[in-house]
Structure 1
Amino acid sequence: MLRPHAEHAFAHELAALAAADDRPRPERWRLSPWAVATYLLGGTLPDGTVVSPKYVGPRRIVEVAVATLATDRALLLLGVPGTAKTWLSEHLAAAVSGDSTLLVQGTAGTPEEAIRYGWNYARLLAHGPSRAALVPGPVMRAMAEGMTARVEELTRIPADVQDTLITVLSEKTLPVPELGEEVQAVHGFNLIATANDRDRGVNELSSALRRRFNTVVLPLPADADAEVDIVARRVDQLGRSLRLPAAPEGYEEIRRVVTVFRELREGVTADGRTQLKSPSGTLSTAEAISVVTGGLALAAHFGDGVLRPGDVAAGILGAVVRDPASDPVVWQEYLETVVRERAGWKDFYRACREVGA
């Protein structure tokens, strides 16, 4: 598979954690909260199994998220684009329930049926409303089976559809008025939602719905070293999935991409001496991963397999210049005042000038 679900990609780690886990587990959880946190943050088990970190960030954030899922409150992961909200959501569901696929993808067109249930219209027309004609949605399935459901980009969903979750989260029940029945949640059920704080004002959560969530804000990586580590790990995973050759000398270019993104994102150079204008885009860690992965593909198929400035320059330009009116000015100013004068960056400067010409 091009992109296996977390529970398949890391099945050996989950199995090793389950075998070594002797701590209390909430009902229907595959692992104890301690083991879930270890799966996310990484560690070495007594049998020598190395658990790779899935999330690089403050440990307390992960502990709060896991503890929330062990209560009757739902979890809302909030942050700017690229702070690993979806990634963390998927791995939490995989570790807790062994299944990360009970997913509702939020968009402006997400209907109420996506959260509640739909109908098999052939059976509905032939026999009328019945259990056999009902098609449960991911949330209904999670309630009935004691699993973890996921709702991505909650604030992209229309407000009236969002409010479908209020009864689910407060009463732990989902009415089916057509059948005169209801589905009640069993132990183990909970819900993880993600929201992009750049989408504030799109479809704000009502106060009634927000009260049903415990909100955990995911920060951007604290420093350049942490961000470089995240990018390098994910690029390695993606490269192996796409069967790209490893870039033996690519670490310098990864650090360079991260440095450019961080400086433009924060509006100041790493040494704090030069104030910069920030472009309209977010320049997130996820975008840095995309730029480096694209560079690896260029190096593999059109170069000598070594990641070089020319392989990442076009990707950086595409990530920075989103608004054709203002962003080119920001980028050119950064190139000429920072990149051009930075020791050891001449090759990178020339590559960026070439793609921007």
Structure 2
Amino acid sequence: MSQTNGTKTTQLRRAAEDAFAEELEALRGADDRPRPPNWLLSPQAVVTYLMGGRLESGFEVTPKYIGDRRLMEVAVATLATDRALLLLGTPGTAKSWVSEHLAAAICGTSRLIVQGTAGTSEESIRYGWNYALLLAKGPSREAVVASPIVRAMEEGRIARVEELTRIPSETQDSFITILSEKTLPIPELNEEIAAARGFNLIATANNRDRGVNELSSALKRRFNTVVLPSPATIEAEIAIVESRVAALGRAFEIPAEPPGADQIRRVVTIFRELREGVTADGKSKVKQPSGTLSTAEAISVVGSGLALAAHFGNGHLSAHDLVSGISGAVIKDPVQDAIVWREYLETVVKERSEWKDFYRAARESA
């Protein structure tokens, strides 16, 4: 439970439904379109919440996702049917972020979540037992410990599964009956749990991890897959980084000036060029490092640079504050990636007259 002191919360990170409660309330008040069973907003209002916009009252809804609106429309329309939604993409393409905000807008809670790992068990998806009650009274509904998935079924809400492909294949199959029959048998009680109207599931998966635990064809058929791409343009990626860094600065109360647009553009340019293997002007090819260099990593680099500037600098984000974060993001393999980074500095960064401060800082830290 969060505690508040005046208007501030002591909670390190608030769930989407709490952080954006005012926007969700404004949307509910203005929303007069038909809503699927047990939805708090209409599909159109959910997309407005995700993409941002101005309501007739003049209220501004901030964008949560900067990208193709059609992808969000497909995702929301999927959840209004009996198909589950799989958000697929490379690391850092906002899969978890979109999943959280979809659940918050549709059913009012994003907290019914299962984190997929190699150790995720069937009990995490289905149900477990309160062994004290089981021993005292024998098998009963009272002794059943419901998973977040079961709670979502009973309450008619959206459940979330993070990193579906990291869950062992034999455990993944626990979803098949839930998604196809919308029921979950409890053989020990000769009963079953039937999903209430409004229940659905959002899963995320990293498409670089497809070989970890490939989904069975039976499970794939239960999902409609929406692929979230990396930002199409540098301007879109800069807008994402700028927005998220500003939010992080407020959340962590970092006493530094907001980063200038030129510094964010520099970080995003480096990440995009190394990620795509070509300079922004298309004239020169560059070697690609082993890491993904995602938008999320760019946000982390700028955020870390702000903290350095605030606590160990003059409060203004400089090239010196950014260098260590960027090199740490690029160099995952200490041998091959280090070569890629040095070559990029000498053949690309050094030749840009407006980047001389960054080149000097990078050489000094090498």
Q: Report the alpha carbon displacement of residue 2 of structure 1 after superposing the two structures with TM.
A: 1.1
The number of residue pairs the alignment matches comes to 356
Establish whether residue 60 from structure 1 lines up as the match of residue 70 from structure 2: yes
Q: Is the partner of 2:141 in helix, strand or coil?
A: coil
Q: 1:40, 1:53 within 8 Å by CA — same for their partners in 2? A: yes
Q: Is the partner of 1:192 in helix, strand or coil?
A: strand
Gap change, CA 1:54 and 1:249, over 3 Å in 2: closer
Establish whether residue 33 from structure 1 lines up as the match of residue 35 from structure 2: no
The answer for the alignment partner of 1:270 in structure 2 is 280
Aligned partner (choices 218, 222, 225) of residue 215 of structure 1: 225
TM-score computed with the length of structure 1 as normaliser:
0.99
Q: Deviations over 1:258-309 (max 9, x none)?
A: 0000000000000001101100000000000000000010011111111110
Q: Report the alpha carbon displacement of residue 250 of structure 1 after superposing the two structures with TM.
A: 2.5
Establish whether residue 104 from structure 1 lines up as the match of residue 86 from structure 2: no
Q: 1:213-292 counterparts in 2 under 5 A?
A: 213-292=223-302
Q: Is the partner of 1:214 in helix, strand or coil?
A: strand
The answer for the alignment partner of 2:162 in structure 1 is 152
Q: 1:231, 1:289 within 8 Å by CA — same for their partners in 2? A: yes
- Measure, in 1, the Cα distance between the counterparts of 2:33 and 2:363: 57
Q: Which amino acid aligns with 2:364?
A: E
The answer for the alignment partner of 2:185 in structure 1 is 175
**Runs of 4 or more above 3 Å deviation:** none
The answer for the alignment partner of 1:323 in structure 2 is 333
Aligned partner (choices 49, 55, 60) of residue 50 of structure 1: 60
Q: Is the partner of 2:14 in helix, strand or coil?
A: coil
Gap change, CA 1:286 and 1:249, over 3 Å in 2: closer
Q: Report the alpha carbon displacement of residue 251 of structure 1 after superposing the two structures with TM.
A: 1.9
Q: Deviations over 1:187-240 (max 9, x none)?
A: 100000000000011000000000000000001000101000000000001110
TM-score computed with the length of structure 2 as normaliser:
0.96
Q: 1:155, 1:203 within 8 Å by CA — same for their partners in 2? A: yes
Aligned partner (choices 112, 116, 127) of residue 137 of structure 2: 127
The answer for the alignment partner of 1:306 in structure 2 is 316
Q: 1:236, 1:246 within 8 Å by CA — same for their partners in 2? A: no
The answer for the alignment partner of 1:12 in structure 2 is 22
Q: 1:29, 1:97 within 8 Å by CA — same for their partners in 2? A: yes
Q: Which amino acid aligns with 1:337?
A: T
- Measure, in 1, the Cα distance between the counterparts of 2:348 and 2:340: 12
Q: 1:250, 1:308 within 8 Å by CA — same for their partners in 2? A: no
Q: Report the alpha carbon displacement of residue 149 of structure 1 after superposing the two structures with TM.
A: 0.2
Establish whether residue 91 from structure 1 lines up as the match of residue 91 from structure 2: no
- Measure, in 1, the Cα distance between the counterparts of 2:14 and 2:333: 34
Q: Which amino acid aligns with 2:238?
A: V
- Measure, in 2, the Cα distance between the counterparts of 1:246 and 1:47: 34
Q: CA RMSD in A?
A: 0.8
Stretches of structure 2 lacking an aligned partner (at least 5 in a row): 1-10
Q: Which amino acid aligns with 2:321?
A: D
The answer for the alignment partner of 1:166 in structure 2 is 176
Q: Deviations over 1:290-343 (max 9, x none)?
A: 000000100111111111101110000100000112100000000000000112
Q: Which amino acid aligns with 2:58?
A: G
- Measure, in 1, the Cα distance between the counterparts of 2:256 and 2:70: 33
Q: Deviations over 1:49-85 (max 9, x none)?
A: 1000000000000000000000000000000000000
Q: 2:241, 2:298 within 8 Å by CA — same for their partners in 1? A: yes
- Measure, in 2, the Cα distance between the counterparts of 1:205 and 1:19: 41
Q: Report the alpha carbon displacement of residue 249 of structure 1 after superposing the two structures with TM.
A: 4.7
Identity of aligned residues (%): 70
Establish whether residue 194 from structure 1 lines up as the match of residue 211 from structure 2: no
Q: Report the alpha carbon displacement of residue 91 of structure 1 after superposing the two structures with TM.
A: 0.1
Q: 2:237, 2:295 within 8 Å by CA — same for their partners in 1? A: yes
Q: 2:290, 2:333 within 8 Å by CA — same for their partners in 1? A: yes
The answer for the alignment partner of 2:5 in structure 1 is none
With 49-58 and 238-247 compared, the bigger mean Cα shift is at 238-247
Stretches of structure 1 lacking an aligned partner (at least 5 in a row): none
- Measure, in 2, the Cα distance between the counterparts of 1:295 and 1:118: 45
